[in-house]
Amino acid sequence: MKNRLRVLRAEHGWSQQALADKLGVSRQSVNAIETGKYDPSLPLAFRISECFGLPIEDIFLREEPSS
């Protein structure tokens, strides 16, 4: 699943570690989510959403199935 985490984090001027601290996860987790290697669970997605003050669908983008 694509996401705008890296862009949003940059807009806030946060490092991966800073965002990880806010979310209560490891920096590796933030990196894995940003690079699309890992899709977060719903509870973590909600925490990310609250962190940026945005709805989940503005952060995580549904990939359209290719026809």
Partner 1 sequence: MTCHPRSTPAFRRYMRRFLIATGLYIGTFMIGVRLVPDDAPPSPLYIGLALLPGLAILGWIWAMGRLLIEMEDEYLRMLEVRKFMIATAFALTISGVWGLLELYVTVPRLPVFMIFPLWCVGLAVGQIWNRVSGA
Q: Is 59:3 a contact under the CB 8 Å cutoff?
A: yes
Q: Which of 6, 14, 20, 56 binds partner 1 (CB under 8 A)?
A: 20
CB of 64 to partner 1, least distance (A): 26
Beta bridge partner(s), residue 60: 3
CB of 67 to partner 1, least distance (A): 30
DSSP label at 15? -
Residues in the chain, total = 67
Which residues sit at the interface with partner 1, rule CB under 8 A? 17, 20-21, 24-29, 32-33, 37-38, 40-41, 44
